[in-house]
A = this chain, B = another copy of it.
């Protein structure tokens, strides 16, 4: 299970089986960069399989999750998502009411985000060959005015050849912003899972962030972006640091967190920074622009709880967190996933 969890184990699997076989260096953002999407001919392409269990959870379902997750993978490259494709694999005998609820949800989220479902594919397999329903979503995105503006602003402060927002764009001094509370999605899914069920007011944050990010790009100065899904904030920050070749220091007290998520994590013995999110972005922003971007984010419904949690610095190696009690701890990249099958 650890191979699919988004941490170090998955990286090893990708390295040995995927990257070794395919043309790693084709395109503007090649496969070898392991960004959230690939880019060729100025088109962003992404794909995401969803196997969340249960299919319905507080604040969302496999449908809303699929649409939000795929839109967000396009969005964090700085692109404007223009269309989605849906691939359903269903177990024979799947309750049609389930299918109806899921497609309703897909429809609603896609409409609200303004990103239409353009094509789809449906396969039915015999009972037992699959656990109810797997939804795989692909998305395409294109360059936008907001993205061009973002790089114009960056160009005023720093020389750059980049045309897309990459994991590798962070430089010393850049501020790290997270656009809201972390850990909600994983805890929400877990709270309703058989055998784990516990009372909780936490709902999933699964939501498309294209509108919020477009506004932030129009302020400008965003040099790196990633949605902290599998592996959570810990994985995202480590990928930023590793790909950008810079250390990152964050402050625990600045990380927005729902108290219930904090309590549930303690109870379950898992690190909330490693829990997957589905409606947050972590970004690196030019120090000169960080306050303006933060202010813009906080004015959006999706980003009200945005916070500057730290900065890129060569004074530390890897990712280091100043804890609430004044200590420091290394935030390691997660080895596996504390909560499997949440996306």
Flag whether A89 is at the interface (Cβ < 8 A): yes
In the complex, which residue of chain B has the Cβ closest to the Cβ of A131? Answer: B129
Contact of A110 among B22, B126, B129 (CB under 8 A): B22
The answer to whether A122 and B45 touch across the interface, beta carbons within 8 angstroms, is: no
User: 1/0 per position for A6-26, CB-CB distance to B under 8 A?
Assistant: 000010011001100111001
Flag whether A325 is at the interface (Cβ < 8 A): no
* Distance (whole angstroms) from the CB of A80 to the closest CB of chain B: 10
In the complex, which residue of chain B has the Cβ closest to the Cβ of A39? Answer: B118
Residues of B contacting A88 with CB < 8 Å?
A: 49
Contact of A89 among B49, B53, B340 (CB under 8 A): B49
The answer to whether A4 and B85 touch across the interface, beta carbons within 8 angstroms, is: no
The answer to whether A89 and B51 touch across the interface, beta carbons within 8 angstroms, is: yes
Given contacts A27-B83, A38-B85, 16 further A-B contacts (CB under 8 A): A1-B126, A3-B122, A4-B124, A10-B122, A14-B120, A17-B100, A21-B106, A26-B118, A27-B118, A38-B83, A43-B82, A49-B121, A49-B134, A51-B129, A85-B138, A87-B87
Give 9 closest A-B pairs by Cβ, nearest first. Answer: A38-B118, A4-B124, A138-B138, A38-B119, A47-B85, A136-B136, A21-B107, A129-B131, A26-B116
